[in-house]
């Protein structure tokens, strides 16, 4: 790691403060999130008694501190509601995990702070700044801008191999052995892994697609919106991530079919995947052997072997987690499986199995609800026949991204604060805000259709 990496990390929070002094608060929040997450180095500074200072904490602390300094009135007006309960439980459950496993109050508070910074801070920022349709539109446009900025960098690395992080900061952020896929290089740019980059570019592409189809954006950077979508689509495919391409196809299909049939069933089926997978796999009701056999007989024996390896590890890790099912084993490696000689024989791929092992069913349930709550809100507030309206489209595609992210958490462990900021924004939509936005912005017939969808208990 070179000196420039240290300078960037240590100077980031002052830089965010400068951004807030020059831009409108909402735009400063979006710019800070995107610049930090897309360009900061993947480094970690251990802090005695405190969570490590790394890319994630720099991203979240920078925005949180600057927003509190320059926009204190908004922070004072923020109030937790019943709908925020899943996120609240998710942030504090490490405290109980540590106490139950004998690590003590100090460790529990430290782990809770880390979890709050990583997940709670972006969620709160989203609740404050993106809790209306206009704010969600700005946030969605920011995601597209971030994707377009990454296009030339992705194409460069797909041709020259993942070198940018090394050239700028002096080290590779991940093992180079995993960067060759589909007969070429899989880029990483400044993110921690090629899989994370693939999901990011997929998110920008899907957002651009739906804002183009809905007419929310007609031109982007002096080019027709369809041209920008085509560029993003090509780049996403060229990132050589099978999961990202699959998510893109699923997302486009979900949006297209919802527009075609005016029914939410396709989005409901998508969120049903994790809601079925998590309880059946965590409790061992479904071992996964049937799907391994199907893939082996009909698709590929190699892919079946890979899936079988994953399923086996999930099975033994779930068995270990169920020894302490409520709050798990905490975050110091106890949730992993060891042989008689003390060697770790388990491999964790999906975020869900890590969460189940560390924080038990309480952590897994609260995390799942925190991510999927915005999707439930969208289904509650807006009938599918209005999902392609220019004012509603950003909230729709951001909710879809959260559903896809939850599915990705079954496969990978890629934490991204951008998704949690979106979750906070959609969760922060209030019945009054929805009703007012409908009356002010949508067609005259929409308030009649939406009236029955606005819950009165919030």
Q: How far apart are CA 38 and CA 45, in angstroms?
A: 19
Q: Coil, strand, or helix at residue 442?
A: coil
Residue 233: name the closest of 246, 250, 245 by CA: 245
What is the C-alpha to C-alpha distance for residues 30 and 223, in angstroms, rounded to an integer?
A: 22
Phi and psi dihedrals of 183, rounded to 5? Answer: 75, 15
For the chain, the C-alpha Rg in angstroms (whole number) is 22
**Residue whose entry in the numeric block shows the structure tokens 């033994």:** 316
* pLDDT score of 50: 75
Task: Report the pLDDT value the prediction gives residue 263, as an integer from 0 to 100.
Answer: 93
Point out which residues pair with 184 in neighbouring strands. Answer: 181
Please compute, for residue 53, the number of CA atoms within 13 A of its CA located in the half-sphere on the CB side: 14
Q: Nearest to residue 174, comparing CAs of 268, 273, 55?
A: 55
Which residue do the tokens 């259709």 mark?
Answer: 449
Predicted local distance difference test score (pLDDT) of residue 153: 97
The pTM of this model reads 0.91
pLDDT score recorded for residue 444 = 44
**Which 8-state DSSP code applies to residue 15?**
H
The tens place of each residue's pLDDT in the chain, 458 residues long, gives 899 999 999 999 999 999 999 999 999 999 999 999 999 999 999 887 777 899 999 999 999 999 989 988 888 888 888 999 999 999 999 999 999 999 999 999 999 999 999 999 999 999 999 999 999 999 999 999 999 999 999 999 999 999 999 999 999 887 777 778 878 889 999 999 999 999 999 999 999 999 999 999 999 988 999 999 999 999 999 999 888 999 999 999 999 999 999 999 999 999 999 999 999 999 989 888 888 888 888 877 877 887 888 889 999 999 999 999 999 999 888 999 998 888 999 988 899 999 999 999 999 999 999 999 999 999 988 999 889 999 999 999 999 999 999 999 998 999 999 999 999 999 988 755 555 555 555 544 443 433 343 333 23
Whether the Cβ atoms of residue 173 and residue 197 lie closer than 8 Å to each other: no
Comparing C-alpha atoms, which of 136, 75, 105, 192 is closest to residue 401? 136
Answer for the pair 438, 446: CB distance below 8 angstroms, yes or no.
Answer: yes
Which among 50, 14, 45, 5 is positioned nearest to 32, based on CA atoms? 14
């Amino acid at each position: 790691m070179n000196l420039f990496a240290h300078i960037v990390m240590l100077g980031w929070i002052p830089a965010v403060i400068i951004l807030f002094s020059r831009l409108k608060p909402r735009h400063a929040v979006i710019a800070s999130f995107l610049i930090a997450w897309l360009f900061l180095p993947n480094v970690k500074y251990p802090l005695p008694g405190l969570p490590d200072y790394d890319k994630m904490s720099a991203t979240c602390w920078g925005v949180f501190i600057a927003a509190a300094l320059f926009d204190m009135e908004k922070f004072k007006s923020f109030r937790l509601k019943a709908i925020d309960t899943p996120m609240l439980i998710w942030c504090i459950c490490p405290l109980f995990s540590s106490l139950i496993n004998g690590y003590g109050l100090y460790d529990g508070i430290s782990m809770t702070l880390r979890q709050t910074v990583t997940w709670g801070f972006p969620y709160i920022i989203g609740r404050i700044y993106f809790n209306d349709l206009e704010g969600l539109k700005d946030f969605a446009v920011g995601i597209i801008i971030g994707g377009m900025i990454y296009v030339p960098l992705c194409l460069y690395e797909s041709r020259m191999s993942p070198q940018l992080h090394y050239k700028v900061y002096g080290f590779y952020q991940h093992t180079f052995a995993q960067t060759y896929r589909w007969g070429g290089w899989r880029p990483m740019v400044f993110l921690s892994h090629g899989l994370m980059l693939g999901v990011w570019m997929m998110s920008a592409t899907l957002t651009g697609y739906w804002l183009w189809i809905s007419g929310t954006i007609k031109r982007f950077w002096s080019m027709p919106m369809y041209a920008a979508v085509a560029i993003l689509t090509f780049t996403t495919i060229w990132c050589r991530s099978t999961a990202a391409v699959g998510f893109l196809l699923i997302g486009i299909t979900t949006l297209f079919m919802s527009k075609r049939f005016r029914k939410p069933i396709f989005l409901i089926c998508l969120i049903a995947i994790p809601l079925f997978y998590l309880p059946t796999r965590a409790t061992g009701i479904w071992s996964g052997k049937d799907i391994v056999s199907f893939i082996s007989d009909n698709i590929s024996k190699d892919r079946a072997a890979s899936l079988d390896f994953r399923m086996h590890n999930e099975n033994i890790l779930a068995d270990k987690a169920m020894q302490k099912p409520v709050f798990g084993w905490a975050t110091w490696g106890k949730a992993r499986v060891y042989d008689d000689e003390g060697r770790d024989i388990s491999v964790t791929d999906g975020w869900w199995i890590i969460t189940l092992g560390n924080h038990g069913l309480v952590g897994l349930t609260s995390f799942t609800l925190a991510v999927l709550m915005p999707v439930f809100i969208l289904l509650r507030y807006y009938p599918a026949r209005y999902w392609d309206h220019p004012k509603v489209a950003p909230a729709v595609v951001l909710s879809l991204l959260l559903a896809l992210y939850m599915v990705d958490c079954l496969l990978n462990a890629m934490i991204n604060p951008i998704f949690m900021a979106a979750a906070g924004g959609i969760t922060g939509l209030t019945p009054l805000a929805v009703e007012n936005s409908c009356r002010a912005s949508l067609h005259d017939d929409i308030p009649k259709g939406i009236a029955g969808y606005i819950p009165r208990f919030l």
